[in-house]
Amino acid sequence: MTNIDLRSLHPEDLEKVVLIDAEIIGRSRRAFYEKRLEIALASPESLITCAALVEGELIGFSFVRIEDGAFGINERIAEVDVIGVAKAYREGGVATLMMEELERRMLKQSIKNIRTMIDWGDTGLTGYFSSAGFKLLPSIVVSRECEAQPSFDGGDPESPRYQDGANNDYVSLFRDSIPVRTMKESDLDGVVRVDKKLTGEDRTNFYKTKISEVLNDSGIRVSLVVEQDNTIVGFAMVRLDYGEFGQLEPSAVLDTIGVNPDYHRAGVGHALLSQLMVNLSGLQVNNIQTQVHWESFGLLEFLSGCGFKATQNLVLNKSLD
């Protein structure tokens, strides 16, 4: 095998990264990688990179995001965002070498699990991750299209407005009766209080990092909160994804949604998702998705009622201990 050197990505690697990726998916995603690399260089503890080189030329790259508490996972995990290898080197084990290097770095940070999400129909990726020791997790990936007037909108289903199809334009929407606003960094304490009511834990550090990510890293603010009497009673934290594993269209990822138990069944969750759909639709984001453990029956029922459906995506995990 040709001697392959491994290191982190450098700013000057951007052009080659974009070229390799375009070779794989058929179009350039320069803006996506500019942002990814910018985050990795500014916060190497939250987004880790690996570059593979032959005689100084970049032939492969990978990005791994460090998550702490997203999707209800109560631990720090590594999540593989992207792996790309130049066409001429795809049979040379480059991706395997990069993964082994990333795993060594994860263990140094006491991270015991590395995960990823792929389309089960992508036999190349499925085979690669299977050979690398990844196993299927009991998680369901659900998604739905974003639309300006979500089909689950409404207040009281017994209202005459729901019985007369001619008056649909005047339907009382959840977001009309329950004010929803954009999340701010000063909302940290309120978000933590709601989460603590739900989990029994103080996850201030997780939410401090997550709020910074969703408000600053994407460049577009789409995360939301609901207030009652100047107190946050619900929140939805969302990040925009511009192309993990060859995805061609921008989508949104719902990392976390929480509602104060005192306000369950009050329409807070529906109001958050209703406004979120409107905002994302206005940004021309066509899809939103999230991961749910298959035993989270209440959350699955809620999301199903909001139009989410199971996808063909698989959630894979590799234990590093």
Q: Which pLDDT does position 67 carry in this prediction? A: 76
Comparison of pLDDT for 225 and 155, the residue scoring more: 225
| DSSP, res 71 | G
Q: Say if residue 80 is in the same domain as residue 183.
A: no
Q: Say if residue 91 is in the same domain as residue 191.
A: no
Q: Say if residue 83 is in the same domain as residue 161.
A: no
Structure token digits, residue 110: 């006491």
Q: Which pLDDT does position 171 carry in this prediction? A: 38
Q: Where are the alpha helices (DSSP H) in the chain?
A: 14-25, 30-42, 94-108, 123-131, 160-163, 174-177, 188-199, 204-212, 268-282, 297-305
Q: DSSP states of 202-237 as a string?
A: --HHHHHHHHHIIIIISSS---EEEEETTEEEEEEE
Whole-number average pLDDT of the chain = 83
| 277 domain-assigned | yes
| 295 domain-assigned | no
Q: Say if residue 98 is in the same domain as residue 160.
A: no
| 136 domain-assigned | no
| 141 domain-assigned | no
Q: Which pLDDT does position 174 carry in this prediction? A: 58
Place of tokens 């209202």: 159
Using CA atoms, how far residue 155 sits from 36, 186, 234, in Å, is: 40, 30, 17
Q: Which pLDDT does position 124 carry in this prediction? A: 83
| 130 domain-assigned | no
Confidence label for 217 from pLDDT (cuts 50, 70 and 90): low
Tell me how many domains the chain contains. 2
Q: What is the pTM of this model?
A: 0.76
Final residue in a domain of this structure, among 87, 111, 135: 111
% of the chain surpassing 70 pLDDT: 84
> Hey, is 297 helix, strand or coil?
helix
The pLDDT of residue 281 is above 80? yes
Final residue in a domain of this structure, among 111, 132, 167: 111
Q: Say if residue 281 is in the same domain as residue 186.
A: yes
Structure token digits, residue 10: 């450098």
| 321 domain-assigned | no
227 DSSP β-pair partners: 232
The pLDDT of residue 132 is above 50? yes
Q: Say if residue 153 is in the same domain as residue 261.
A: yes
| 76 domain-assigned | yes
- The domain of 161 spans 147-285
Cα separation, 101 vs 106, in Å, equals 9
Confidence label for 72 from pLDDT (cuts 50, 70 and 90): low
| 31 domain-assigned | yes
pLDDT digit string, tens, across residues 149-181? 776 654 443 333 333 443 343 334 555 678 899
The domain spanning residue 166 has which CATH number?
3.40.630.30
Final residue in a domain of this structure, among 57, 87, 111: 111
Q: Which pLDDT does position 160 carry in this prediction? A: 36
